[in-house]
Amino acid sequence: MKLWVALPDTLTIDSHHLRDKTLKIGQIARAAALFGVSKIFIYKEGEGHEDEFRQIKLILEYLETPQYLRKKIFPYMKMLKYAGILPPLKIPHHLPKVPLTEIKLGEYREGIISETKGQVLADLGLSSPIPVDSKGKKGERITVRFTSVFPNVRVRQVRKEEIKQYWGYEVERSLSLSNLIKNNKDTLVIFTSKKGKIIKKVWKELIKLQERYKNLMLIFGSPKRGIFEILSDEGLDPFRLSKYTLNIIPNQKVDTIRIEEAFLASLAVLNIIFLDDNKIV
243 has pLDDT over 60: yes
The model's confidence at residue 117, banded by pLDDT at 50, 70 and 90, is confident
Write down the pTM of the prediction: 0.94
C-alpha 83: how far from chain center? 17
Residues 101-114, mean pLDDT to the nearest whole number: 95
| Residues 170, 18, 5: CA angle, nearest 5 degrees | 25
For 20-70, how does the pLDDT look when each residue is reduced to its tens digit (9 = 90+)? 999 999 999 999 999 999 999 999 998 999 999 999 999 999 999 999 999
- CA-based radius of gyration for the chain: 21
CATH code, 2-89+168-273: 3.40.1280.10
Is residue 27 within 8 A of residue 249, CB to CB? The reply is: no
Q: Which residue from 171, 222, 170 is spatially nearest to 12, judged by alpha carbons?
A: 222
Residues 84-91, mean pLDDT to the nearest whole number: 95
Residues 139-160, mean pLDDT to the nearest whole number: 94
Sign, CA dihedral 32-37-38-42, equals negative
3-state SS class at 38: strand
Where do the domains of the chain lie?
A: 2-89+168-273, 100-162
DSSP for residue 213: -
Mean pLDDT score of the chain: 92
pLDDT recorded at residue 277: 54
For 195-241, how does the pLDDT look when each residue is reduced to its tens digit (9 = 90+)? 999 999 999 999 989 888 999 999 999 999 999 999 998 889 898 88
Task: Answer whether CATH 3.90.440.10 is correct for domain 100-162.
Answer: no
pLDDT recorded at residue 281: 37
- Of 132-136, 140-144, 244-248, the least confident: 132-136
50-64 and 18-34 helices cross at what angle (nearest 10)?
50
pLDDT recorded at residue 71: 93
Burial class (CB in 10 A: 0-12, 13-18, 19+), 50: exposed
